[in-house]
C-alpha cells in the first residue's frame, strides 16, 4: 500500500503557500509597469475584473480537480479520464509546462540572488551602470548562484508539503509583506513620490485597446499561477474539510493586493528619481526594469541617505523579490516532482535529485543563451527575429501554452469530469457555496465563455509570436 498523501497542516498554510506561488516577480515590477503604461487606474480596473471573472473560476477548476484526485496534474487527468489518450496529452502538457517555466524562472531568480550578493558586497554603484547587466549575466559566477538557488529549493522541497513548502511560506510570506510595507512607507516619503502615485492610479481610458485588454488577462493569468498545474498540485494536498472557494478568493485577493501595493513602491521611486519621467521611458520588460533601471534609482538615494543607506534599500528590495521568486519556484518545481514521485515511486529526495539534474541542465543551457555561447544565443529565428533558447522557452511555454492549459482544464472539468462532480467537490468543506450566485457563475463561465476567451488569447499569441501578425490590432 502506498503512503497516505501528504497534506498541508492548516488552511492558512495552504493559502500562504498558494499565495506564495502567486506572488512572484510578476507582481513586483511587471504589474506596476504594465499598469502605468496602459492607462493606470483603467488598467487596474480591467485587471481586477479579469481576476474575478476569469481567473478565479479557473483557479477553482484547478484546485477542485486536484483535491478530488489527490494527484499531480498528470495523475489528475489519468484518474478522472483513465486510458483516454487526448486527456493524457493534456496531463503531460501540464507537467512539461511547469518544468520549462521552472527553467526560465530559475535563470531570473539566479540573477536576482546574484544582484543581492553584489549589492551586499558594496557594488551598487557598479550595478547602476546599465551596461553591467550584460556583463553580469555572462559571467560564469552565475553558475555558483545557480547552485545556491538549487540548494535552497532542494532544502525546502525535501522537507515535504507540511515541513517544507508550508513552513517556508509561513516564514517567507510574512517577511515579504513586512519588507514591502516598509519600502512603500520609505518611498512615499521621498520628494515627488506622489507624482508617481498619480501616474500609477489616474485612469486614462484612451489607452485601452484590444492588445491592452489581452495583456491584462495574460498578466492576471500568469500572476495567479494558472495553467501550470500548480493549483492542481497544491489542491491535492488540501484536506476535504477545507473550503476551496473561500481559500481561492483569499489567494487571488492577496496576489492582487501585493501587485497593487508593489506599484506604490516602484512608481514613486521612479518619479522621485526623475520627476519628468515619461511612461515611454519605463522599460517594457520586468527584467529590464529590475536589473538595469532600478539599481540606478537606488544609487541616486545616496545623496540623501548615503551610499550605505542606498545599498541597504536596494538590498531589501532584492531580498523581497528573491523571497517572492523562491516561493514561486518551489511551487512550480513541486509539480513535476509530485508527478515523478507518483509515476515512478521514487522517494521525495531521489525524485528531487533527478529533477535537479534535468532542470539544472536545462537552466544551464538557458543561462548561456545571452551571449555566452553563440549556439544557444542565436538558436533559431522566426517571425523575423533571432531567438535564443531562453526566448523560445518564454515564447512557447509562458506566452503560448499557458492559456492553452487553462482552456484544457476548463473543458476537462465541465465536459469530462462533469459539472455535478465539480460542484460537489467545491461544496465539500464550504456548504455556503452550494446554490450561491457565485456557484452559478462559476458553472456557467467555466463551461462557456472562459474557454472561448482563453482560446482567442491562444490563437492571437500564436499569430503574433510565430507569424508576426496580430489578429486583434
Ligand atoms: N505568479 C508568479 C509571478 O507572478 C508566476 C510564477 C509562479 C512563475 C510560479 C513561476 C512559478 O511571478
CA gap 221, 175 in Å, rounded: 25
The answer to whether residue 5 is domain-embedded is no
Phi, psi of 381 (to 5 degrees): -145, 145
Cell numbers for 189: 516619503
As to burial, measured by CB atoms within 10 angstroms (0-12 exposed, 13-18 middle, 19+ buried), residue 358 is middle
Cβ density class 401-433: b for 16+ within 10 Å, e for less:
bbbbbbbbbbbbbbebbeeebbbebbbbbbeeb
Long-range (24+ apart) CB contacts under 8 A made by 2-10 are: 2/345, 5/70, 5/236, 5/237, 6/160, 6/161, 6/162, 6/237, 7/161, 7/162, 7/237, 7/238, 7/239, 8/161, 8/162, 8/165, 8/166, 8/234, 8/237, 8/238, 8/239, 9/162, 9/166, 10/166
The helix/strand/coil state of 385 is strand
Q: Which residues contact 286 (CB under 8 A, 6 or more apart)?
A: 25, 26, 28, 29, 30, 33
304 alpha carbon – ligand 1 mean position (Å):
35
325 alpha carbon – ligand 1 mean position (Å):
7
Cell numbers for 85: 489518450
CA angle 460, 397, 87 (to 5 degrees): 90
- Best mutation site among 18, 20, 25, 232 for ligand 1, i.e. most ligand atoms within 8 A of its Cβ? 25
Q: Band the pLDDT of 2: cuts 50, 70, 90.
A: low
- Structural domain span for residue 27: 11-467
Please give the pLDDT value at position 298.
95
Mean pLDDT of the chain: 94
Report pLDDT digits (tens) over 106-148. Answer: 999 999 999 999 999 999 999 999 899 999 999 999 999 999 9
Which residues, judged by CB distance below 6 Å to any ligand atom, belong to the binding site of ligand 1? 21-22, 24-27, 101, 105, 222-223, 225, 328, 331-332
The answer to whether residue 184 is domain-embedded is yes
216 pLDDT higher than 60: yes
Establish how many alpha carbons lie within 13 A of residue 419's alpha carbon, considering only the half-sphere containing its beta carbon: 11
Please give the pLDDT value at position 1.
43
Nearest atom in ligand 1 to 230's CA: 9
443 pLDDT higher than 50: yes
Report pLDDT digits (tens) over 267-298. Answer: 999 888 888 887 777 777 788 889 988 999 99
The answer to whether residue 329 is domain-embedded is yes
Please give the pLDDT value at position 472.
67
Please give the pLDDT value at position 465.
85
308 alpha carbon – ligand 1 mean position (Å):
31
The helix/strand/coil state of 386 is strand
305 alpha carbon – ligand 1 mean position (Å):
33
Please give the pLDDT value at position 467.
87
Asked if 389 and 366 count as a contact pair (C-beta separation under 8 A), the reply is yes
**Mean pLDDT score, 224-253:** 97
102 alpha carbon – ligand 1 mean position (Å):
9
Cβ density class 129-159: b for 16+ within 10 Å, e for less:
eeebbeebbbeeebeebbeebbebbbebbbe
Q: What is the CATH number of the domain that holds 297?
A: 1.10.4160.10
Please give the pLDDT value at position 288.
83
**Mean pLDDT score, 406-428:** 97
- Best mutation site among 21, 94, 112, 287 for ligand 1, i.e. most ligand atoms within 8 A of its Cβ? 21
Say what percent of the chain tops pLDDT 90.
85
CA gap 370, 212 in Å, rounded: 29
**Mean pLDDT score, 192-216:** 91
CA gap 70, 239 in Å, rounded: 9
Q: Which helix (H) or strand (E) holds 381?
A: strand 380-382
Phi, psi of 382 (to 5 degrees): -150, 160
CB atoms within 10 A of CB 386: 11
Phi, psi of 387 (to 5 degrees): -125, 135
Report pLDDT digits (tens) over 67-90. Answer: 999 999 999 999 999 999 999 999
Domain count, the chain: 1
Provide the total of helices (H) and of strands (E) in the chain, helices listed first.
Answer: 26, 2
24 alpha carbon – ligand 1 mean position (Å):
5
240 pLDDT higher than 60: yes
Q: Band the pLDDT of 439: cuts 50, 70, 90.
A: very high
326 alpha carbon – ligand 1 mean position (Å):
10
The answer to whether residue 126 is domain-embedded is yes
Please give the pLDDT value at position 273.
86
Report pLDDT digits (tens) over 341-396. Answer: 999 999 999 999 999 999 999 999 999 999 899 899 999 988 888 999 999 999 99
Residue nearest to atom 10 of ligand 1 (CA): 328
CA gap 459, 400 in Å, rounded: 9
22 pLDDT higher than 70: yes
The answer to whether residue 74 is domain-embedded is yes
Please give the pLDDT value at position 251.
98
- Best mutation site among 19, 23, 26 for ligand 1, i.e. most ligand atoms within 8 A of its Cβ? 26
Please give the pLDDT value at position 274.
84
Cell numbers for 75: 495523475
Amino acid at each position: 500500500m502506498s503512503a497516505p498523501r501528504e497534506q498541508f497542516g492548516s488552511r492558512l498554510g495552504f493559502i500562504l503557500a498558494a499565495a506564495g506561488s502567486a506572488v512572484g516577480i510578476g507582481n513586483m515590477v511587471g504589474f506596476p509597469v504594465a499598469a502605468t503604461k496602459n492607462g493606470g487606474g483603467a488598467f487596474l480596473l480591467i485587471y481586477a475584473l479579469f481576476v474575478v471573472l476569469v481567473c478565479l473560476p479557473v483557479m477553482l477548476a484547478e484546485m477542485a480537480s486536484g483535491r478530488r484526485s489527490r494527484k499531480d496534474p498528470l495523475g489528475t487527468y489519468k484518474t478522472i479520464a483513465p486510458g483516454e489518450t487526448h486527456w493524457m496529452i493534456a496531463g503531460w502538457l501540464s507537467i512539461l509546462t511547469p518544468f520549462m517555466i521552472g527553467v526560465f524562472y530559475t535563470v531570473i531568480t539566479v540573477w536576482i540572488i546574484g544582484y543581492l550578493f553584489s549589492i551586499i558586497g558594496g557594488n551598487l554603484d557598479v550595478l547602476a551602470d546599465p551596461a553591467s547587466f550584460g556583463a553580469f549575466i555572462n559571467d560564469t559566477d552565475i553558475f555558483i548562484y545557480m547552485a545556491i538557488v538549487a540548494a535552497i529549493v532542494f532544502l525546502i522541497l525535501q522537507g515535504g508539503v507540511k515541513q517544507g513548502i508550508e513552513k517556508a511560506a509561513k516564514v517567507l510570506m510574512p517577511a515579504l509583506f513586512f519588507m514591502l510595507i516598509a519600502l512603500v512607507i520609505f518611498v512615499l516619503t521621498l520628494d515627488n513620490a506622489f507624482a508617481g502615485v498619480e501616474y500609477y492610479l489616474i485612469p486614462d481610458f484612451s489607452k485601452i485597446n484590444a492588445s491592452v485588454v489581452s495583456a491584462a488577462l495574460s498578466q492576471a493569468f500568469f500572476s495567479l499561477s494558472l495553467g501550470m498545474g500548480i493549483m492542481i498540485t497544491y489542491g491535492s494536498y488540501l484536506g476535504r474539510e477545507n473550503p476551496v472557494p473561500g481559500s481561492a478568493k483569499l489567494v487571488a485577493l492577496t496576489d492582487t493586493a501585493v501587485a497593487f501595493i508593489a506599484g506604490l513602491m516602484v512608481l514613486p521611486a521612479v518619479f522621485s528619481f526623475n520627476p519628468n519621467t515619461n511612461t515611454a521611458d519605463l522599460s517594457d520588460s520586468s527584467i529590464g526594469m529590475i536589473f538595469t533601471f532600478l539599481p540606478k534609482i537606488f544609487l541616486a538615494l545616496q545623496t540623501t541617505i548615503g551610499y550605505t543607506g542606498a545599498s541597504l534599500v536596494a538590498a531589501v528590495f532584492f531580498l523581497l523579490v528573491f523571497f517572492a521568486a523562491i516561493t514561486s519556484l518551489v511551487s512550480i518545481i513541486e509539480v513535476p516532482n509530485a508527478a515523478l514521485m507518483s509515476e515512478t515511486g521514487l522517494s521525495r529526495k531521489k525524485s528531487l535529485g533527478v529533477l535537479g539534474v534535468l532542470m539544472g541542465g536545462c537552466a544551464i543551457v538557458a543561462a548561456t543563451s545571452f551571449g555566452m555561447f553563440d549556439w544557444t544565443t542565436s538558436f533559431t529565428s522566426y517571425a523575423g527575429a533571432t531567438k535564443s533558447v531562453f526566448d523560445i522557452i518564454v515564447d512557447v511555454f509562458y506566452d503560448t501554452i499557458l492559456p492553452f492549459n487553462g482552456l484544457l482544464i476548463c473543458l476537462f472539468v465541465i465536459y469530462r469530469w462533469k459539472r455535478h462532480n465539480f460542484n460537489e467537490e467545491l461544496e465539500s468543506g464550504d456548504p455556503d457555496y452550494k446554490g450561491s450566485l457565485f456557484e452559478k457563475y462559476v458553472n456557467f463561465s467555466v463551461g462557456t465563455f472562459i474557454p472561448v476567451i482563453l482560446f482567442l488569447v491562444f490563437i492571437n499569441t500564436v499569430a503574433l509570436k510565430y507569424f508576426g501578425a496580430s489578429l486583434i490590432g
